[in-house]
Amino acid sequence: MVDDEQSPHAEERTLRALFDTVVPADHWPAGWDGGVERLLREHGSDFMAWTTTPLATAAQVADRAAILRHARPFAALAPAEQSAVFASLLEAEHSAGPLSALITIAYQAYYGGTRQPAGWGMVGYSAVPDGVEPLDVADPPGIDADSLADTYDVIVIGAGAGGGAVAAELAERGKHVLLIERAQPMRSSELRGNHLQGKRTGLYDVRVGPHAGNPRVLEHPDGTTEVLQAEGDSLAYGLNAMALGGGTRVWQGMSWRFWEQDFRMASTYGTPAGSTLADWPFGYSELEPYYERAEWELGVAGDADSAVGRATPRRRGYPMPALRSDRTREALTIAGRRLGITTSPIPFAINSVDRDSRAACVHCAQCIGHACPVDAKNGAQNTFIPRALATDRTDLLLGAQVTSIEHSGDGTATGVSGVVEDRNGERRFRARADRIVVAAGAIETARLLLASGLGNDWVGRNHMTHGVALAIAGSGPDIKETVGPGHSVATVDFVHRDRNGWGGGVIFDAPLQFPYDKAQAGREFAPAPFGAEHKAWMRETPNLAGTMSMVQEIPHEWTRVTVDPVVKDRRGMPAARLRGTAHDATRANVAAMAQHCSDWLSAAGGEQIITREMSVAPQGQEHSAGTARLSSDPAHGACDPQGRVWGTRNVYVADASLHVTNGGFNPALTVIANALRVGALMPD
């Protein structure tokens, strides 16, 4: 190549031609003008910096191939010639990697984006329905660290589902509470419309944190380790939301009760070799009053007369009717009847009617992983935490990371210390209290207890999430509307169906795919993985339909959270070290549920069905649980039945860490119910 062809301008011309080959112009703009240039310009020096090497390599190999075949650089070729060169490079071993990365970048820019890209308009996608004026709800400012009281009755660490609920319970009991959240205050507008940094599909520096400087260490089964960077892919790091309200700030709100059998799994199925499976120290009946409170105080919309509502004993129905039906629910209900499957609407912590001065759901297309445009989604941030603050007995400290629980040798905690970052900069802080409640999430709760030298050998053990079974139809009926919340219909027919199923799990329709997700799926399902055929497929084919299951995970003795002896976060706190593998019983459970998912989808007319079986997530996910499990005997668990950490006098846990098993359902309602129970049973 001549010097001019090696210049930055020549490379940019080649890259533009490559991106426009992936997404060619038609009635809609090509890739470069449709989002790629803007994304690279705005973020090429921060979270898109990784693109520099693969893009430079892609430009080089494309120009070399073009000159070799046509004696002209890639940008000078006719479109048909460019497509042919690109296709051949995509199949060649030496160039497939950078060309595949370029396709990914093109689809991230054209169909994902940090704000509305061209691909959204092309496929008819809108994050907010027409005519809806989004609200911009702000977090309360909290107090300044210099305004901390001399002492508190209770310090609650973590303002998510469990922390918010227990703070409200204790404050309304008359306790002086300090609620500490490591996230900075945010506005809801910061948590919408950005698909590359949203929680569920976030590929870069997810808006709900924890952001750079908070690594974790993943230990592989062969003993090698990998440092997970918090500013990277949210799935690779672990789907943990650090915000006021925690995961409930941006969740989708599915709110299930665990079944009676979920509290006595070992008694029901036995304890398989190599597992840590055990019964809870109490049964469903003890938690039922708190489930009722959780549904009514959080605000859940559901149908108490459905199979879901009748599956567990209840004294009271849901406070709101189920969300409206849609084509998905109707089609899968009819398909279910063909298979003898009973279906129900999904219970959601989303207003189906106006409630508590907040609007009903407007069915936006990006419920999952994003803040609600009308504040109809119910979470700790707009239910329990405002109640706690309204007592005038709760101080909220934001932007504060607790790095240690201070305690004496007899296990009596005296307070906490950490680092706060506010308008006065970053500095150390200390706070004193009679009791400490840790509700930082299953990984961070275990990490803090371990770093503080608190608890017994069970702290950090028993880590589990859920197995996931997924079926997606590459073609079939047009049943998935571009509306929220994204799921609609479920069956519980495969929950505790027989003694050989290890609990099974709920099955529901797969979430509505965002445009970028569909574009990536099109690399497998479309007639071609790039170019005019892929773009036409994106525009002309209906949303992909699917079914998925949250599968009961059998906790494994090797799955554990510890603290790394070397790697630390930016505040000097030891990083969480994670390891895990799926128990054979979990793998069998997931495989069985994947078949049920596929059968139900096929009965609804799905074709080209592919299944995915994900049996374990050792790095943790949004359903992480079990790392400080309840037990009536310290030989078998980390906390006593009231949530107090064994070996301590006044340290409690109030989040999913307490779960002995995690059910075959999303666990948030159980987290809230049990947190209310912990607060209610805590002695004066």
What confidence tier does 33 reach under pLDDT thresholds 50, 70, 90?
very high
Calculate the CA 101 to chain-centre distance. 24
List, for residues 312-322, the tens digit of each pLDDT value: 999 999 999 99
Task: Determine the pLDDT at residue 202.
Answer: 84
Judge whether residue 437 has pLDDT over 80: yes
Q: What tokens appear for 299 in the block?
A: 């605000």
pLDDT value of position 422: 87
pLDDT tens for 41-50 read 999 999 999 9
Q: Which fold has domain 152-300+362-463+557-577+618-681?
A: FAD/NAD(P)-binding domain (3.50.50)
pLDDT band at 498 (very low <50, low <70, confident <90, very high): confident
Give pLDDT tens digits for 604-615: 999 999 999 999
| Mean pLDDT of the chain, nearest integer | 96
Domains of the chain, by residue range, sit at: 3-123, 152-300+362-463+557-577+618-681
- Reported as a single tens digit per residue, the pLDDT across 457-493 is 999 999 999 999 999 999 999 999 999 999 999 999 9
Model pLDDT for residues 286-324, shown as the tens digit of each residue: 999 999 999 999 999 999 999 999 999 999 999 999 999
Q: What percent of the chain has pLDDT over 70?
A: 99
Sign, CA torsion 512/515/521/524: positive
Residue 415 pLDDT more than 70?
Answer: yes
User: Is the pLDDT score of 24 beyond 70?
Assistant: yes
Is pLDDT of 281 > 60? yes
Per the structure block, which two tokens stand in for 16? 């533009």
Q: How far apart are CA 394 and CA 413, in angstroms?
A: 20
Longest CA span, the chain: 84
Mean pLDDT (whole number) for 219-230: 95
pTM (two decimals) = 0.97
**Which pLDDT does position 2 carry in this prediction?**
39
Q: Which tokens in the block code for residue 207?
A: 């808006």
- Alpha-carbon span 111 to 119, nearest angstrom: 5
- CA distances from residue 127 to 6, 111, 445, 610 in whole angstroms, order as listed: 41, 12, 34, 28
Q: Work out the angle at residue 646's Cα, subtended by the Cα atoms of residues 643 and 650, and round it to the nearest 5 degrees.
A: 65
Q: Taking the alpha carbons of 234, 235, 240, 246 in that order, is the dihedral positive or negative? A: positive
pLDDT at 336 exceeding the cut of 80? yes
**pLDDT interval class at 595 (50, 70, 90):** very high
